[in-house]
Chains A and B, each alone.
Chain A
Amino acid sequence: MTIGPADRVAEDVQALAAAGVDELIFNLPAATGPDQVAAAGEVLAAALA
């Protein structure tokens, strides 16, 4: 579970990337529309840039 504000999410995904993951696939159970998907994409793009 990766959860929390954007900076916490960034820490989590960077640690996973460093563990040897080529692609992180996220399940967004709370997303009910495109805006939440777009927001998640912005956070992930910034974290993994």
Chain B
Amino acid sequence: MTDYGLQLPNFTLDVPDDGLFERVADMARAADDGGFRSLWVMDHFYQLPPLGGPSRPMLEAYTLLGALAASTQRVQLGAMVTGVTYRHPAVLAKQVTTLDVVSRGRAVLGLGAAWYDIEHTGYGIPFPSVGERMDRMEEAAQICRAMFTEEAPTFQGKHYRIEEARNVPRPVQPGGPPILIGGSGPRRTLRAVAMYADMCNIHGGPDTVRRSVEVLHEHCAGVGRDPSDVRVTRWGRCSWPTTTSRRPASGSWWRARWARKRRPSA
């Protein structure tokens, strides 16, 4: 049985700002009632170009998720995906744990290496090389896992360190919220999934997905992990209903973006 989830990326919803959250909450409740297993928001500070760019509304992810946790009953809640550059991973672990408590065990930690350069520039957030961001993502996954599962973990990495970091109250979910690593990079990203994550999030059509799953299973074998332990999710845009198969203009922006940014090592 394949489940389905929903990401809400667009906050240009034809309502005044003081009605914006209620509209988003109505959409979240529709997902909750409509059989969606999960509900995701983007972790960005600027809206993305296909949806109008930085001048369009964007709500901060974890503030919004906390409010949506109180507005829904069933759906899992997470950021698709949290940019590792935006928060110290210990703070992120605390936020996701709080989300798990507020939602009574429905939080998912979506984690990624971040990519949206202009919001880093705009907010004065360092935006290191993709290699360093990948390194940071791997360290962040280890820190969050430790803070979900250990009473007072200590971790010393190249980029982050924690020392007897307390995380009370503990997550509601046994073992803590599942960790999802986003991306389909065959060498580093999918290997990081095999090493540190409970879920992956890959892109592409059926043939690409099949290849990515094969690579993931190879990495799992390489680290001695049962591949059935990793839940495979796939992200994609969906325009429905329509009366035409013509792709909207935003599709070309995304294709160009990923063609330009894709790195073999990622």
Contacts and interface: CB of A to CB of B under 8 A. Distances in A.
A24 to B, nearest CB: 5
A5 B243 CA distance: 6
Contacts of A39: 240-241
Q: Which size class do B's interface residues fall under?
A: 35 or more
Interface string B30-51: 1101111110100000000011
B221 to A, nearest CB: 16
Contacts of B245: 3-4, 8
Contacts of A40: 6, 34, 238, 240
B240 A22 contact: no
A42 B4 CA distance: 11
B30 A23 contact: no
Interface in B1-52: 1-10, 12-14, 23, 26-27, 29-31, 33-38, 40, 50-51
A20 B213 contact: yes
Given A1-B239, A20-B209, A33-B23, A45 B35 contact: yes
Contact of A1 (B2, B207, B236): B236
B2 A21 contact: yes
Contact of A22 (B2, B244, B251): B2
Contact of A27 (B36, B37, B236, B248): B236
Given A24-B236, A30-B239, A16 B206 contact: yes
B233 A20 contact: no
B84 to A, nearest CB: 20
Interface of A: 1-6, 8-9, 13, 15-35, 37-45, 48
16 contacts: A1-B251, A4-B240, A16-B2, A16-B236, A23-B233, A25-B7, A25-B40, A25-B233, A26-B5, A27-B236, A32-B12, A37-B6, A37-B30, A41-B34, A43-B241, A45-B4
